[in-house]
Amino acid sequence: MPLRQRQEVQALPRPPRLGRARLRRAPEPSRQGGAPPPDAEARLLHRDGQLLVLDKPAGLPVHRGPRGGASLEDWLPVLALGKRRAPQPAHRLDTDTAGCLVLGRTKPALAALGALFAAGRVEKTYWAVVRGAPPAPAGEVAAPLAKRSTARDGWRMVVDPEGQPALTAWRVLGEAGGLAWLELRPRTGRTHQLRVHCAHLGCPILGDARYGGGEAAMLHLLARAIALPLDPPVTATAPVPPHMRAALAACGWREAAE
């Protein structure tokens, strides 16, 4: 049964079939990848017949690279959970970002989810720990982004007036010791958008060596929550990963409030 959108919103047309987004029969784990962890199912934040929301660990790429290695693709057969076909990601989430990742379990569900993400109708909330602090308690960054590549440094995203429009709302949730805890709400979905926008504000994300956040062990960016305007609505919240707890606690976060 396909997902239903809220009645007050006109249904979007079914998008064309996307190569990577197509559901596949659940394969055996690739020898080039890694075995899924025993707690893969325990990391589910939401499960129904049409979709899953997974708490993706930081450092796990969604798609396997050309050189192989562990990726979310190793987890998908385990997450089929009785379906004939493995679930597939409905959107992107950077390798180094932890938190909410939506997976479609059927072809109609994946098409409907893809349309919602493409239309910007999914509410995404991120938490970040940044070096320094933004210039005000809250605001928006409207800074177009473009991709640049050099032989020496590889590719990166930069603020460029000729780039694609990109908009991020932000507010400060806490500060301490030269760090700030930010809530980020991207209104567009550009590659590395939050990382570049934080750097553009003068407060790069802790651990983001590419954009000026220093050499901390891991990127301090969490896809904290997601809200899907379905009928009924689906919401999920990811827990704070271990590598972010100390910095967040220094800025005022309390684990007991989770």
Fold equal for 1-121 and 122-258? no
Kindly report, residue by residue over 13-58, the tens digit of the pLDDT: 343 343 344 444 444 444 455 677 778 899 999 999 999 999 999 9
Q: Which of 9-23, 63-77, 179-193 has maximum average pLDDT?
A: 179-193
CATH of domain 122-258: 3.30.2350.10
- Please determine, for residue 7, whether its predicted confidence score (pLDDT) is greater than 60: no
CATH 3.30.70 assigned to domain 1-121? The reply is yes
Can you tell me whether residue 121 is helix, strand or coil?
Answer: coil
Question: Using an 8 Å Cβ cutoff, are 180 and 251 in contact?
Answer: yes
- Spell out the domain ranges in the chain: 1-121, 122-258
Catalytic residues: 94
The pLDDT-based confidence of 152 (bands split at 50, 70, 90) is confident
Q: Tokens in use for 88?
A: 């597939």
What is the four-CA torsion angle of 125, 131, 132, 133, rounded to 10 degrees?
0
